[in-house]
């Protein structure tokens, strides 16, 4: 891309959500790190004609989020009326 002085990248990241409990800090930190990396990359390559975009769609209900444990040991899904059956299958 720098040779052609043009181009772009499109990066899909999961949006950062409020921490479900204390054990989610690594997940939140990694999401913030990706956003910061692509923001820095954008600043570095803008003069080369390269565009860096980050797309963060809204919350997506997955089995991981539905079954994650809250601080009292119950699942996040049961606390908010969600079940694994309500998770949309991605094919």
Task: Give the mean pLDDT per block of 10 residues along the chain (91 residues).
Answer: 72 65 69 88 90 81 73 73 61 47
Q: To 5 degrees, how large is the angle CA 19–CA 23–CA 29? A: 60
pTM: 0.57
Ranges of each domain in the chain? 1-58, 60-91
Task: Give Cα 52 to chain centroid, integer Å.
Answer: 16
pLDDT at position 57 is 76
pLDDT at position 91 is 47
* Euclidean distance between CA atoms 5 and 49, whole angstroms: 5
* Euclidean distance between CA atoms 45 and 5, whole angstroms: 10
Torsion-angle region of 4 (φ positive above 0: left; ψ -120 to 50: alpha; else: beta): alpha
DSSP labels, 2-70: TTTT-EEEEEE-PPP---SSGGGHHHHHHHHHHHHHHHHHHHHHGGGTEEEEEE-------HHHHH-B-
């Amino acid at each position: 891309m720098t040779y052609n002085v043009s181009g772009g990248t499109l990066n899909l990241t999961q949006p950062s959500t409020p921490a479900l409990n204390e054990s989610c800090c690594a997940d939140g930190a990694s999401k913030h790190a990706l956003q910061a990396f692509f923001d820095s990359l954008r600043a570095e390559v803008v003069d080369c004609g390269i565009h860096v975009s980050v797309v963060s769609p809204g919350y997506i209900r997955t089995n991981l989020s539905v079954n994650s444990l809250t601080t009292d040991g119950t699942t996040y899904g049961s606390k908010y009326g969600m079940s694994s059956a309500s998770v949309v299958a991605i094919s």
